[in-house]
């Protein structure tokens, strides 16, 4: 860990920080001077790799584990961030799972599992952020552009992310007077393992072609929007930012 003065360093907690978009967010915020807490659900080794990369570049980082839907585990994550760096200024909630399938045959156990992580998990982290972010802070939750595009087989996933949008925009109004912004980033097709898993080459190419820029997004594209909301975007609040290259 570097010896940067934590009294003046802003601190970001990134859930799912060892994943595709989460990793890019961690790297971007660290490059912007944040001390970063890299949350992981099960793969400690991968989180440690992200932490080591940040530290090798002269930044500050810490790995913390836990189920985002478990309020005790996530309280411990916030406590660890505070103990290491003095507090939390930004929470980026990228943690989530995606299971696809048509409504008519969707496995209800899969529905419950996905909604536990995507809805309850987001709610738990948002509740903690609402109570523990320092003034001037930001909470950034994650949705999906498929909320608008309505692709077949995404109904259960979209239902969970539409819930994220609803709770986030209400929370932005509930935090009146606290100087904390609350927004949603809704990526389009982005080249991450979560997105690419189970899709054949033609399906991936068709999704890339649906975007006017004719390519998939990269995790770094999404991280750029997060960095804007985490830093200079103090007049952006209670919004859903569709970061998708122009996908309808």
> Which residues have a catalytic role annotated?
157
Find, among 67, 63, 56, the residue nearest to 80 by Cα: 63
**Phi first, then psi: what are they for 50, rounded to 5°?**
-65, -45
Strand partners, 218: none
**The token pair that represents 43 in the structure block:** 């793969």
The set of residues, in sequence order, having a beta carbon less than 8 Å from that of 80 and lying 6+ positions away, is: 37, 62, 64
Helices (H), the chain: 20-31, 44-56, 71-85, 108-115, 121-132, 146-149, 155-174, 193-196, 201-209, 219-230
Handedness of CA 24, 11, 54, 28 (dihedral sign): positive
CA angle 127, 45, 142 (to 5 degrees): 35
């Amino acid at each position: 860990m570097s010896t940067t003065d934590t009294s003046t360093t802003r601190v970001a907690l990134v859930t799912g920080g060892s994943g595709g978009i989460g990793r890019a967010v961690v790297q971007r915020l660290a490059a912007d001077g944040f001390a970063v807490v890299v949350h992981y659900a099960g793969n400690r080794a991968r989180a440690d790799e992200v932490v080591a990369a940040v530290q090798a570049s002269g930044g500050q980082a810490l790995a913390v584990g836990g189920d985002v839907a478990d309020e005790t585990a996530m309280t411990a994550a916030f406590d660890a961030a505070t103990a290491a760096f003095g507090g939390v200024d930004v929470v980026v909630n990228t943690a989530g799972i995606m299971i696809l399938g048509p409504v008519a045959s969707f496995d209800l156990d899969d529905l419950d599992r996905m909604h536990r992580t995507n809805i309850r998990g987001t709610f738990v982290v948002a509740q903690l952020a609402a109570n523990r972010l320092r003034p001037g802070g930001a909470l950034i939750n994650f949705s999906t552009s498929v909320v608008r595009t309505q692709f077949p087989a995404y109904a259960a996933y979209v239902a969970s992310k539409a819930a994220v949008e609803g709770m986030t925009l209400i929370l932005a109004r509930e935090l009146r007077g606290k100087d904390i912004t609350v927004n949603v980033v809704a990526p389009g097709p982005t080249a991450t393992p979560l997105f690419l898993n189970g899709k054949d080459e033609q399906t991936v190419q068709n999704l890339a072609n649906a975007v006017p820029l004719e390519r998939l997004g990269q995790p770094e594209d999404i991280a750029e929007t997060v960095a804007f909301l985490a830093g200079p975007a103090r007049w952006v609040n209670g919004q859903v930012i569709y970061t998708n290259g122009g996908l309808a």
